[in-house]
A and B are shown apart, each in its own frame.
Chain A
Amino acid sequence: MKTTRRQFIKVSSLYAGGVAMAGTGLKAASGLLNNLGGSTGGLSRTPTYCEICFWQCAGWVYKDDNGRIQKIIGNDDDPHCNGRLCPRGTGGVGMYHDEDRLKTPLIRRTVDGKQVFEEATWEEALDFIAEKMKTIAKEYGPECVVLFSHGSGGAHLGHMLKAFGSQSISAPSFAQCRGPREVAFLTTFGDIVYSPERTDIRDSRCLVFIGYHLGENMHNGQVQEMSDAIDKGATIITVDPRFSVAASKSKYWLPIKPATDLALLLSWIHVLIENGWYDKEYVEKYTFGFEQLREHVRQYTPEWAYGITTIDPNVIRRTAKEMYDASPAVIVHPGRHTTWYGDDTQRLRAVAILNAILGSWGRRGGFYFPERVQFPEYPTPPYPVPKRLPAEAYAGKYNLANEVVSNGICDATIPSVDSDCNFKVWLVNGTNLMLALPDQRKTLEAIQALELLVVIDTMPVEITGYADVVLPECTFLERYDMIRVSRHREPTLALRMPATEPKYHSKPGDWIARELGIRLGLEAYFPWKDMEEHLDWQLKQVGSSLEEMKRIGVKKFPRQYDDLYLHEGEDFFFNTNTGKIELYSTDMEEEGFPPLPVYTEHEQPPEGFYRLNYGRAPMHTFGRTANNPNLTDLMDENTLWVNPKVANLWGLENDQYIKLRNQDGIVSTFSIKVRITERIRWDSVYMVHGFGHDNKKLSRAHGRGINDTELITNVKTDPVMGGTGMRSNFVTFVFENKTVGKEAEA
């Protein structure tokens, strides 16, 4: 892709200025480390919670006598992990040790007509950013500054930005991921699913996964509970065109034709209602719109669904009966990454309705009511009221979105004649937007229109190449962060503290936010002496202290409010317009969307093309782990899953490298290794997301596999909440010389 004003710079600094940086920020804190925490077998330990994914398991960081981080082990008291981290958490040490980390602040300069990154001191970099932000805000208002964030740094930078006068804060975890399910459950039950999910999997007798590949998607607590459920003999029903690991653990695998899930869901609702296989008392007491639902789904017979989904009508009936027999201890799982086809909120509404008529919401083995500690903020002055809210950037659209729509912000950044709501500054923290947002051409167009792009990250991920300023953030093992206040069966708090000092010239997120804040004249918003004082004050308000948390890492609190489940016959007010579980959604109706989910047909691949499906591997989190030395050791490239019949047709062989071309003529930058397997349907191919990095500074990740995001150019936006449906892209095979790894360097 050609870029003009902002040329992509592979992070390498041609100009090393007089770099003398004092790494004093954490010295005082780290002096304490040696005396803290327990000790086992010559190893000292400090508490943390993991940042490799967003499940945020609490654990202990063990160091040997030389102060070298050796291993990270789960905290037994943590309900997120129960003492057992997943491979990414265990391999979290690699994030610290990775020698490709960003090491020093960089500023884009033009030298002899060529754009380069110049090494800078923190003072220079922060002064530069603050001056720019002030100038730009003067002209366009502070609201034109956006923060894209995914991870713990967001809390600090978000606070700084709100103090500056902007609420434009967004994470791709909504509109590129779990948004549709949250909006669907909010409109149905008046509450969202949350993360960690409120699914009572351990006591469930029937688990239904719709394209949800738990086990490959390693959300720890849920994987653990799925294993418990298997032990207890739960029935698992998996709907997936791919024989996923979850499918292999299932009593029923429904190898559905891709993009037809909603037909199956509607037909299940039909079967349950027509046969009286639903919780009549629960439906009567708690739901709204059952009669309309009954009338609406009359048309959706299993025979109707058969012609669409290719699933045998008898299997549809049998699996519906399994759900009913297990009810209310049944979970039709809402999944997590749900932005597939652009009618995703409607599909997730059907999932919510299934759960509602089976009576699983608020029941043991279904969905429990989670609770969190009421944890006070450190007192700071009130934030200024912004003149413009971020949602105004996409006014009149996505009205049911309950979080900021990242792609809405991205679109509004691109100048247009009919919009004066342009954003001028992006602060990007912990999210590689080049891999996270589909349709890279748009992302690049938006970036070119910016007056300032600041990237704060630990690694030289692709988005850093477009930055004006790159700030090296330290890893979670080298810093304090906000206390983890999680919703769960039991409310808990968890502490993250530095196990060691920040490597190179990297700095913790709180320090970066504060230093920038001070330069913006926002001292009053950072009244604490340091993070220790900040956290200690907060902890003391709930009867704990930093000293206690350093010792125990995780503190459990008794529940204050409602019980985990509904009581027999309990009156319950749901936070919807009708106070009931809305089978018939008044919110949807008011916004002009179908109040009951309607099946719509989606595009199918043209001849010679295959639907590009993507997913996750248990040892990686998107692209952010693709260079981690411990985790690349387990998996260092993605492979292209191809059905043997397709492979035969095209003459593909196992381990052969090929490129892919999508329906819009986009050819992948790199090649991917073919994996011929019966585990994939003949009309689709599959790869793990997060590979195919094109920044050479990622020495282990560069050129390894294909980046699925670059092939996702046909984006189906969900009109309800702005989610970017990414599974309507079709690819075909391109045979040419392999471009991979070392050869790609040439």
Chain B
Amino acid sequence: MRYAMAVDTKKCVGCSDCVVACQTENNVPIGYCRDWIVEVTDGTYPQLEIEIRSERCNHCENAPCVRCCPTGASHYSDGGTVLVKKYHCIGCGACIASCPYDARFPHPDGYVDKCTFCLDNRVKKGMDPACVSVCPTKCMYFGDLDDPRSPVSQILKKRKYKTLIPEAGTKPHLYFLI
């Protein structure tokens, strides 16, 4: 089982609903976020393009954050989801420095926090992650890459996609449909 997410940049309008839904679902304190919006503008007026991406932890198969964690707090969980055991985390910040996607932040309670794919609170109960379930444009697809019928497998079969910073060799599980 390999959990993954695909975000359709052709449909995302960058409204940030994913951000606030994650905050209220996961009690992320105001001022912090586990997911965020990136907007890239390319070209010169009036020949322009924008790519809008809802970004979060890439839940890499080859995760530098897991490798560098001195206490084992950062670990692979079900479906390859990268999680942090907050009571094992000493807040050293090595993982934050190692992440090419800047996906982690120091939680005010003293541990490092990040996207969990809503694994325990939603996915294990058969629901989609909060961001996926709330998105007004339905631009996010989640599921198991090993299950050809999962929404994420289906959409990756149909559409062109890319991953971010592939040269880092992290094998990310966050795909962007282009």
Contact = CB atoms under 8 A, between A and B. Distances in A.
Interface of A: 41, 70-74, 81, 83-87, 90-91, 93, 215-216, 218, 220, 223-224, 226-228, 230-231, 243, 245, 248-249, 253, 255, 618-619, 629-631, 633-635, 643, 677-682
A249 B134 CA distance: 21
B49 interface: yes
Nearest to A222: B136
A389 to B, nearest CB: 41
Contact of B41 (A93, A631, A679): A679
B10 A249 contact: yes
A93 B19 contact: no
Contacts of A216: 13
Contacts, number: 121
B17 A85 contact: yes
Interface in B31-56: 31, 33, 41, 43-46, 48-50, 52
A87 B15 contact: yes
B16 interface: yes
Contacts of A223: 13, 15, 136-137
B30 A629 contact: yes
Contacts of B138: 84, 224, 227-228
Contacts of B135: 84
B125 interface: yes
Contacts of A71: 21, 24-25
A630 B15 contact: no
Given A230-B11, A618-B13, A678-B44, A243 B50 contact: yes
Contact of A243 (B25, B48, B52, B137): B48
Nearest to B21: A90
B41 A41 contact: no
B151 interface: no
Given A90-B20, A630-B20, A84 B15 contact: no
A84 B134 contact: yes
Given A245-B50, A678-B44, A679-B45, A87 B11 contact: no
B81 interface: no
Interface of B: 10-11, 13-17, 19-21, 23-25, 27, 30-31, 33, 41, 43-46, 48-50, 52, 121, 125, 133-139
Contact of A245 (B14, B31, B133): B14
Given A87-B15, A630-B23, A681-B45, A227 B136 contact: yes
B129 to A, nearest CB: 13
B19 A634 contact: yes
Nearest to A93: B24
B50 A618 contact: no
A90 B17 contact: yes
Given A243-B45, A678-B44, 10 more contacts: A41-B121, A84-B136, A90-B21, A91-B20, A215-B15, A224-B138, A227-B138, A630-B30, A633-B31, A679-B50
Contact of A248 (B25, B49, B136): B49
Contacts of A634: 16, 19-20
Indicate the member of B11, B31, B136 with the most A CB atoms within 10 Å.
B136
Contact of A619 (B15, B46, B48, B137): B15
A227 B52 contact: no
Contacts of A248: 48-50, 52
Contacts of B41: 243, 677-679
Nearest to B121: A41
Nearest to A215: B13
A506 to B, nearest CB: 22
Contacts of A73: 134
Contacts of B44: 678
B13 A85 contact: no
A680 B48 CA distance: 11
A633 B15 contact: no
29 contacts: A70-B24, A71-B25, A72-B24, A74-B134, A85-B134, A90-B20, A90-B21, A90-B24, A93-B24, A215-B14, A215-B15, A215-B137, A218-B15, A223-B15, A223-B136, A230-B11, A243-B46, A243-B48, A245-B13, A248-B49, A253-B48, A618-B13, A619-B16, A619-B20, A633-B23, A634-B19, A634-B20, A678-B45, A681-B45
